[in-house]
Amino acid sequence: MAAAQTKPRFAYFEGQIVPFEKATVSVMTHALNYGTAVFGGLRGYWNSEEEQLYLFRPLDHFERFLQSASLLRMTLPHTPETLTEVLRQLIQAEGYQTNCYVRPLAYKSSEMIGVKLHGVDDEITMFSIPFGSYVDDKEDGMHVGFSAWRRVDDNAIPARGKIAGSYVNSALIKSDALLAGYDEALVLTQDGHLSESSAANLFIVRRGQLITPAVNGDVLEGITRRTVIELAREELGLTVVERAIDRTEVYVADEMFMCGTGVQIAAVTQVEHRNVGTGKMGEVTRALSSVFYDVVTGRNPKYRHFLSPVYDKEPAQS
């Protein structure tokens, strides 16, 4: 893993930007004891030619963040727009001139014992760290296996929300995969269809079509997933199908890749002891990676509406 793990200098905490060391909670905090929190993950991309840091789809990310919060009966005094402005101020304080990762967190903040969601106070915090590639962008791609753990069912814990407690499921999946010698894991739903990796959406290519599990397949409604679907249709002219995927379809797929804020777009080239396609990064994955990178860094003017600049300066004209 190539991601930096540097501590930030600042955090948004209890309504203001404070030194990171002051953003602390009690060991009695409800969220710490019961996992009653939701989080988000978004990226900022540094464009060296324009000397500008661009936040990628912050309004979409914060809209999903607030929807996740509503699933846990949270009442928060924010909109996607106000949270985007908080984030701009936070990164301005950090002064980043490099790619970064942002973690907003909404949590049940009351100091109490008792499992419930109503009648408990809610708070928001946010921080950002410099962040490069989550996985190495290598030609031979990722080697994955099927997890023995199943994805949490939406009728147990809402899959379309980033609920902190449900990521124990992801942690079990990821550790078992790494300790078994894999880079990641593929996870099945309770009915045996492909869902996600430990924390990323999945796509396969078969007979010229790009196929991904539907949003009712116990998957997170990923912002990167949504972007990939749009770019595949609009820029590459591909047919994109959202449907259930059988386990054996993975074995006969021409290509496979993961996508998400952390992983971005990463080729999967081997599943257990079977190659996916040629066993190397495929043409569709490579093309989507190239288009995606141009979009997130502001080098494709058609998709500037996805980006929000951090620093108060006019972007260069394209």
SS3 at position 165: helix
Rg (CA), the chain: 20
Express each pLDDT in 194-246 by its tens digit: 999 999 999 999 999 999 999 999 999 999 999 999 999 999 999 999 999 99
- Overall number of domains in the chain: 2
- pLDDT, residue 5, reads 63
Q: Region 76-98: what's the mean pLDDT?
A: 97
Element (H, E) at 202: strand 201-206
What pLDDT shows up at residue 140?
77
**For a pLDDT cut of 70, what percent of the chain falls above it?**
95
Residue-wise pLDDT tens digits, 264-287: 999 999 999 999 999 999 999 999
pLDDT of residue 24: 97
For the CA atoms of 281, 285, 290, 293, the dihedral, rounded to the nearest 10 degrees, stands at: -110
Is residue 10 within 8 Å of 18, Cβ to Cβ? Answer: yes
2 in any annotated domain: no
Task: Specify if 304 maps to a domain.
Answer: no
Task: Work out the average pLDDT over 295-311.
Answer: 96
- 89 in a structural domain: yes
Name residue, tokens 């499921």.
Answer: 169
Q: Are residues 177 and 101 in the same domain?
A: no
pLDDT, tens digit, 9 for 90 and up, residues 20-43: 999 999 999 999 999 999 999 999
Q: What pLDDT, on a 0 to 100 scale, did the predictor assign at position 315? A: 46
Given a cut of 80, is residue 15 above it in pLDDT?
yes
- Mark whether 15 and 61 lie in a shared domain: yes
Mean of pLDDT values over 156-181: 95
Domain presence at residue 242: yes
C-beta separation of 80 from 223 below 8 A: no
Give Cα 305 distance to the centre of its chain.
20
CATH of the domain at 123: 3.30.470.10
Q: Which of 145-149, 159-163, 223-227, 249-253 has the lowest mean pLDDT?
A: 159-163
Same domain for 118 and 62? yes
Q: How crowded is residue 298: how many other Cβ atoms within 10 Å of its Cβ?
A: 24
What's the whole-model pTM score?
0.92
> Which residues are catalytic, by number?
162
Question: Which residues form the domain of 82?
Answer: 10-130
Question: Does 305 fall in a domain?
Answer: no
Residue 313 lies in a domain: no
- Give the three-state DSSP class for 43: strand
C-alpha span between 196 and 201 (Å, rounded): 5
Residues 117 and 172 occupy one common structural domain: no
Mean pLDDT over 120-126 rounds to: 97
Between CA 207 and CA 252, with CA 267 as vertex, the angle to 5 degrees is 35
Domain's final residue, options 107, 130, 153: 130
Both 125 and 148 in one domain: the answer is no
Residues 177 and 198: beta-carbon distance below 8 Å: yes
Domain limit, last residue, from 130, 152, 173: 130
**Mean pLDDT, the chain, integer:** 93
* Predicted pLDDT of residue 101: 96
